[in-house]
Amino acid sequence: MSSAEALPAYKRDLISLTLSSNILTFGSFTLKSGRISPYFFNCGLFSKGKLIRGISEAYARTVAEYCSAHPEFEFDVLFGPAYKGIPLCATTAEKLAGIDEAKYGDLGFVYNRKEVKDHGEGGLMVGESLKGKKVVVIDDVMTAGTAIREAISIIKSQGGELVGIIVALDRQEKTPSEGEKQGKPDDGSDRPSTIGQVRQETGVPVLAVLTLDDVIEGVKGQATEEQLKAMEDYKKKYGASS
């Protein structure tokens, strides 16, 4: 059995879906950090029915598998930060209910407004109340961690308790060095990823539907040897310590 075949079916299916829809592409992409990445994963393109179905099913499977392996892990609400988290929290809640109606049928979901509404139902939040609830944040990616930290602040202000975070992709990439922030090359030191930092700061599990390792294994037979080597070299250069 190849490594790609060893991946769960939902991960293989998602990787194939992202390739066929150009959500996952190969080339030369300049990131906000200034690094030149040989691949790009554009979560903004999950904008068709079959695509949002594919990613939400993968989110749901990831959560359900974690809960099965950690029966002590419990949560009441999925919180999707505006804007990309809004469709994710709704569709993933529906897919979880489809996996296990008894366990997840009453799972709530909620999202925030960018601007507080002062008419109609008003307020900052739309959906389930967070007060006294155990909350999992669901979002697309975690770059600098700013959006996740804002989401955590909202949860606290609404009386909820953060118990977990899930994102679509963990690039397994260390945070930029001080030199990189000034336009200089990486100094080669070991550093955690943004996900690793947030995991340490919050003390809660931070899950990812896919990791760079998953992507590398999953595209074997679909990507060229040159594309695979470029991703492997990139990970060797920028791979995070945690």
Total residue count of the chain as it appears in this document: 242
Active site residue 70: no
Q: Which of 153, 82, 147, 89 is nearest to 116 (CA)?
A: 82
Residue 178: how many other CB atoms lie within 10 Å = 9
pLDDT of residue 241: 84
Please tell me the distance from the alpha carbon of residue 186 to that of residue 198, in angstroms, as a whole number: 21
pLDDT tens for the chain, 242 residues: list them.
Answer: 344 458 999 999 999 999 999 999 999 999 888 899 999 999 999 999 999 999 999 999 999 999 999 999 999 999 999 999 999 999 999 999 999 999 999 999 999 988 765 544 447 899 999 999 999 999 998 877 788 899 999 999 999 999 999 999 999 999 988 888 888 888 888 899 999 999 999 999 999 999 999 999 999 999 999 999 999 999 999 999 88
Q: Taking the CA of residue 52 as centre, how many other CA atoms within 13 Å lie in the half-sphere pointing to its CB?
A: 15
Q: Tell me, what DSSP letter sits at residue 189?
A: -
- CB of 109 closer than 8 Å to CB of 93: yes
Q: What pLDDT is recorded for position 118?
A: 55
Domains of the chain: 3-238 (3.40.50.2020)
Most distant pair of Cα atoms in the chain: their distance:
59
> What CA–CA distances, in Å, run from 223 to 21, 74, 230?
14, 39, 11
Residues 6+ apart with CB under 8 A from 183: 34
Query: Which pLDDT score is estimated for 117?
Result: 59
Active site residue 117: yes
Cβ neighbors of 214 (< 8 A, separation 6 or more) are: 7, 11, 15
- The residue annotated as part of the active site, out of 50, 119, 131, 236, is 119
User: Rounded to an integer, what distance in angstroms lies between the CA atom of residue 23 and that of residue 43?
Assistant: 7
**C-alpha span between 50 and 78 (Å, rounded):** 22
Give Cα 120 to chain centroid, integer Å: 32
Residue 144, classed as helix, strand or coil, is coil
Cβ atoms of residues 73 and 66 within 8 Å: yes
Per the structure block, which two tokens stand in for 164? Answer: 């977990």
Active-site position among 70, 103, 117, 184: 117
- Residues facing 135 on adjacent strands: 77, 162
Task: Give residue 120's pLDDT.
Answer: 46
> What is the dihedral angle through the alpha carbons of 91, 47, 139, 13, rounded to the nearest 10 degrees?
80
Contact present, 85 and 138 (Cβ < 8 Å): yes
Q: What is the pLDDT of residue 5?
A: 56
What pTM was estimated for this model as a whole? Answer: 0.92
Q: What's the confidence (pLDDT) of residue 143?
A: 77
What are the E-state strand segments in the chain? 24-30, 36-41, 77-80, 108-117, 123-127, 134-138, 161-170, 206-211
